[in-house]
A and B are shown apart, each in its own frame.
Chain A
Amino acid sequence: MSGSWEAVIGLEVHAQLLTRTKLFCGCATSFGAPPNTHVCPTCLGLPGALPVLNGEAVRMAVRTALSLGCSIKESSRFARKNYFYPDLPKGYQISQYDEPFSEGGFVEFEVEESGGQAKDAPPVTKRARLTRIHMEEDAGKNLHDLGGGSVVDLNRAGTPLVEIVGEPDLRTPAEAAGYLRALRDVLVFLGVNDGNLEEGSFRCDANVSIRPAGSSTLGTRVELKNINSFRFVEKALAGEIARQRDVLESGGRVVQETRGWDEKTSSTFSLRSKETAQDYRYFPEPDLPPLRLDEAFVATLRATLAETPRVKRERFVSELGLSPYAAQVLTQHPRVAAFFEEAATLSLDGVAVANFIQSEVLRDVTTRGVEAIFPVTPGQVVEILKLVSQGKISGKQAKELYAKAKGTTASPAALAADLGMSQVSDPAAIEAACAKVVADNAKQAEQYRAGKTGVFGFFVGQVMKATKGSANPQLVNETLKRLLGG
């Protein structure tokens, strides 16, 4: 992109709330059930059925808004958004329109600054404002071309969503991606959303326009629909920005429309123009009274708010001495962060715990949504590291012990004893082992003494091999240096 244009991007995110039941009925919200098995008169839109607001969804939505710094309205309203579509059973979606339950707020995110700066410059923290957050119900799913016709699955119909509407504060695709990641982290850490773009539980639309750099007026904006993976966010936005630039630079005019992203051709395509835009005929939902959220209720929820991942990361660095990178890795998932924190609390050495989790445990962790399965408990990790710090086992043995402890409830200390693991710290035993290795490798010893100190590692390796990794490495180093130096 030439330097003369600036992009203006605002994101709208739809996030499914992880309630047990739907927004307006008692049907279970579950992914992957047989079609039309989680339905009732209300979510099927049968004549006479009425919506009843799910209190759990309201609490999750308010906690989301509070975590993002939004103000909560004491009174808000639901509205009907009217349009016909087979996956919309009532012919209208219950949403919030001119009186949403929250306004304002912001997302803080990190973005790598590019362009002339050092490659490994730390990421820059930015803040983008939110317009509002409101609640609404999800639609069902249309499935096409199954045995010739189209069918509808209404299991998803009525699933609670929050729509998080951002201000057009983003300027680059990288910022948009950073914003989206940060927003997802906040929701996932709150436990209100599983952050899954591919399965559609976290969906993003983007409004994009471009203008001459330095201009303060907005260009004609295009809405990009359903960006369903983090990988595509930057690509789709970059593609659309390039398209708009080409249009303008060739003397054309950007048309206000809705476009989709085609990953095969890496380009956007027109879905519908403004002329065919729907008139949704919003009006207040007469089946639901205004939603009242009094101060005491909001205060109770505020008191239950957990740290946001950003705050947690900062604390891991400032209080536990982790590197920013380690803090980042350990806050990728709320359960991982919780696992680390529990282990760090039990141990006295947060850095050692962080290193061990990163190097060993993480590769065996499986996550699904907000759930995660760990191969060991935090207590087992702490016990292994304690054996190391007490000099009872070596770092190498710690890895072996972890491998044995995986998937068991065994105490690592007992396991180490059973396996006969103990680090050899007896200077006499090490002296004997080192002397034997030096004697058996006279040629290399000669080389070392002649100044070729690079072979030192060879001797260490041979000693460790001979002691099956149980020798105290520090002692081995000292002993070898003494013997070879003689």
Chain B
Amino acid sequence: MDTVVAVAESVRKGDKRAVEIAETALARIEQRDRDLHAFLAVAKDELLAQARAVDEKRARGEALGPLAGVPVALKDALCMRGVPTTSGSKMLEGWRPPYDATVVAKLRAADALIPGKTNLDEFAMGSSTESSAYGPTKNPVDPERTPGGSSGGSAVAVAAGMSPASLGSDTGGSIRQPAAFTGVVGLKPTYGRVSRFGLVAFASSLDQIGPFATDVRGAARVLSVIAGHDPKDMTSLTAELHDYEAACGASVRGLRLGVPEEYFAEGLDPDVEASIRGAIKALEADGCSVRPVRLPHTRHAVATYYVIATAEASSNLARFDGVRYGLRVEPKAVSDQSQGSALRAMYGATRDAGFGPEVKRRILLGTFVLSAGYYDAYYLKAQKVRTLIRRDFEAAFADVDAVVCPTAPTPPFKLGEKTSDPLSMYLSDVYTLPASLAGLPALSVPCAPTPSGLPVGLQIVTRPLAETTALTLAAAVEASHPRRDEGRR
């Protein structure tokens, strides 16, 4: 499949019509998605209408946007006007947002095509896309294995050639880990670089939207379209954008890389380690300097993350109460007929039926850590540790330009392997959580696969707003690890 830039160029030059590209994408989805289940909804009519509009725009001689005719699939946590948005939950089955997320509006303005909504762990809570209420997504590299999560559907849409790019959201690794597991590029921008308006919230202080693409430059182009301040999101940053595409062609010579010893410890798969060390060696050969750095609070990241993220989630998911939209389940029997108890019974029945077990687990955890008497010991302490984790990175970035490490400790695991053991599932995000907690930009780029052919991703973490440095390094890694064609069948 062509890259983002190649598709946009072919449409701009008139070599291909957007409608042809849309039809090819639909055919590809038809062919591949029966097995992979990356999509929850294919917006066929909208897609073709968008494509026709792009072709007409070109016919009128108007300038086309930077993503003209490029299919960009959306994680189903992103609101698109009139198109069902479930966030992977029964709670929102059939709900159609009356508005576009800011990133969707920006994609439209850039003349992108939106083929549909992709599968995810329910409310983005998970690392394998298995907690989706609509069934798991399979890894195109090996359908027995998970594509990672929570943005598994968006990763697979790109990895299986159904869409050259897609958007995901990353709260603790939900873009980077599936990118690593499926062999594509996935970028989590600096917290606040991309507006969250229209993203169904999981954990507001961590959530960040970012692109998946077949190549680094494609991710850069999508980022340049979706990034920027949004008056509808007060946490979005006002800092000026950089030239992300130009960064993909810059030299890595002289860049200083830090290798955190804490990330190369027990639990790291030896094949993954070999691949990562190989990629770092290659960067060194390209002219980077490599030195060890210490991120001593890394070991607290999982605990810290699961306190803060669940606390925020317990509050963010309170709006799903059966009163205004989405699922409502009337209770079977109400013991006492007072209005208050009937109402509480409706809340209980609705939330019991609407939420899956992982979501319930996190709501309970989050409610607990915010409760009177526990707030200081859990939530407040976690915020303090979060500050320490941020300081770890600040100290490291005094000496280096980027921290390089594995994206995930293992290659993609088997479907069902960790679903009965939440803790081992949580630990699969151990390397991606620290950058999320610190709000830093982080990118996963494919490096050499394991001897058995499973994808491995190198994670590159940089200073706030230094997405450019990550893209420069990723482009170099990409150049020394030519992409395999679309994975095994």
Contacting pair A82 B318 (CB below 8 A):
yes
- B205 on the A face (CB < 8 A): yes
Inter-chain contacts of B318 with A (CB < 8 A): 82, 84, 90-92
- B489 on the A face (CB < 8 A): no
Contacting pair A45 B319 (CB below 8 A):
yes
Q: How far is the CB of B327 from chain A (nearest CB, A)?
A: 13
Total CB contacts across the A-B interface at under 8 A: 101
Inter-chain contacts of A48 with B (CB < 8 A): 77-79, 97, 101, 196-201
Contacting pair A289 B235 (CB below 8 A):
yes
Looking at A50-58, A121-129, A235-243, A340-348, the stretch in contact with chain B turns out to be A50-58
A41-B98, A41-B99, A281-B315 as given contacts; A47 in contact with B92, CB under 8 Å: yes
A50-B234, A281-B367, A283-B370 as given contacts; A92 in contact with B315, CB under 8 Å: yes
- A152 on the B face (CB < 8 A): yes
A283-B379, A286-B205 as given contacts; A47 in contact with B315, CB under 8 Å: no
Inter-chain contacts of B200 with A (CB < 8 A): 47-48
Give the size of the chain B interface in residues (CB under 8 angstroms). Answer: 46
Give the size of the chain A interface in residues (CB under 8 angstroms). Answer: 30
Inter-chain contacts of B203 with A (CB < 8 A): 286
In the complex formed, the residue of B with least CB distance to A90 is: B319
Inter-chain contacts of B98 with A (CB < 8 A): 41, 46
Q: How far is the CB of B208 from chain A (nearest CB, A)?
A: 12
- Residue of B79, B85, B324, B375 most packed against chain A (CB within 10 A): B324
Bound CA span A283–B101, Å: 26
Contacting pair A50 B232 (CB below 8 A):
yes
Contacting pair B372 A279 (CB below 8 A):
yes
In the complex formed, the residue of A with least CB distance to B87 is: A47
Q: How far is the CB of B61 from chain A (nearest CB, A)?
A: 36
A47-B201, A86-B343 as given contacts; A287 in contact with B370, CB under 8 Å: no
Q: How far is the CB of A471 from chain B (nearest CB, A)?
A: 72
In the complex formed, the residue of B with least CB distance to A24 is: B234
A47-B87, A82-B315 as given contacts; A281 in contact with B321, CB under 8 Å: no
- A333 on the B face (CB < 8 A): no
- B233 on the A face (CB < 8 A): yes
Q: Which of A28-48 contact B (CB under 8 A)?
A: 41, 44-48
Bound CA span A91–B370, Å: 15
Bound CA span A152–B322, Å: 13
Contacting pair A287 B235 (CB below 8 A):
yes
Q: Which of B57-101 contact A (CB under 8 A)?
A: 77-79, 85, 87, 92, 95, 97-99, 101
Contacting pair A47 B97 (CB below 8 A):
yes
Q: How far is the CB of A332 from chain B (nearest CB, A)?
A: 40
Inter-chain contacts of B420 with A (CB < 8 A): none
- B312 on the A face (CB < 8 A): yes
Inter-chain contacts of A49 with B (CB < 8 A): 99, 197-198
Inter-chain contacts of A53 with B (CB < 8 A): 234
> Which of the residues B95, B99, B312, B321 comes within 8 Å of A286, measured between beta carbons?
B312
In the complex formed, the residue of B with least CB distance to A279 is: B372
Bound CA span A46–B323, Å: 12
In the complex formed, the residue of B with least CB distance to A83 is: B318
Contacting pair A44 B370 (CB below 8 A):
no
Contacting pair A44 B324 (CB below 8 A):
yes
- A89 on the B face (CB < 8 A): yes
- B431 on the A face (CB < 8 A): no
Inter-chain contacts of A152 with B (CB < 8 A): 323-324
A47-B92, A283-B370, A286-B204 as given contacts; A84 in contact with B321, CB under 8 Å: yes
Map CB proximity to A onto B342-372 as digits: 1 under 8 Å, 0 otherwise.
0110010000000000000000000100111
Inter-chain contacts of B325 with A (CB < 8 A): 46
Inter-chain contacts of B197 with A (CB < 8 A): 48-50
Inter-chain contacts of B372 with A (CB < 8 A): 279, 281
Contacting pair A47 B232 (CB below 8 A):
no
Contacting pair A47 B234 (CB below 8 A):
no
- B452 on the A face (CB < 8 A): no
Inter-chain contacts of B311 with A (CB < 8 A): 283
- A306 on the B face (CB < 8 A): no
Q: How far is the CB of B228 from chain A (nearest CB, A)?
A: 16
Contacting pair B324 A45 (CB below 8 A):
yes
- B292 on the A face (CB < 8 A): no
A48-B198, A53-B234, A286-B204 as given contacts; A80 in contact with B99, CB under 8 Å: no
In the complex formed, the residue of B with least CB distance to A51 is: B234
- B337 on the A face (CB < 8 A): no
Map CB proximity to B onto A318-342 as digits: 1 under 8 Å, 0 otherwise.
0000000000000000000000000
- B335 on the A face (CB < 8 A): no
Bound CA span A90–B234, Å: 18
Contacting pair B232 A89 (CB below 8 A):
no
> Which of the residues B95, B204, B321 comes within 8 Å of A91, measured between beta carbons?
B321
Contacting pair B319 A52 (CB below 8 A):
no
- A288 on the B face (CB < 8 A): yes
- B338 on the A face (CB < 8 A): no
Inter-chain contacts of A443 with B (CB < 8 A): none
Q: How far is the CB of A293 from chain B (nearest CB, A)?
A: 15
Inter-chain contacts of B231 with A (CB < 8 A): 52
Bound CA span A53–B235, Å: 11
Map CB proximity to A onto B187-201 as digits: 1 under 8 Å, 0 otherwise.
000000000111111
Contacting pair B232 A281 (CB below 8 A):
no
> Which of the residues B319, B367, B375 comes within 8 Å of A47, measured between beta carbons?
B319
Inter-chain contacts of A91 with B (CB < 8 A): 315, 317-319, 321
Question: A47-B95, A47-B200, A91-B315 provided; 13 other pairs, C-beta below 8 A?
Answer: A48-B97, A49-B197, A49-B198, A50-B232, A52-B233, A52-B234, A84-B318, A84-B344, A86-B343, A90-B319, A152-B324, A286-B235, A287-B235
Tell me the B residues contacting A by CB distance below 8 Å. 77-79, 85, 87, 92, 95, 97-99, 101, 196-201, 203-205, 231-235, 311-312, 314-315, 317-319, 321, 323-325, 339, 343-344, 347, 367, 370-372, 375, 379
Which 5 residue pairs of A and B lie closest in terms of their CB atoms, listed nearest first? A91-B318, A286-B204, A281-B370, A286-B205, A47-B200
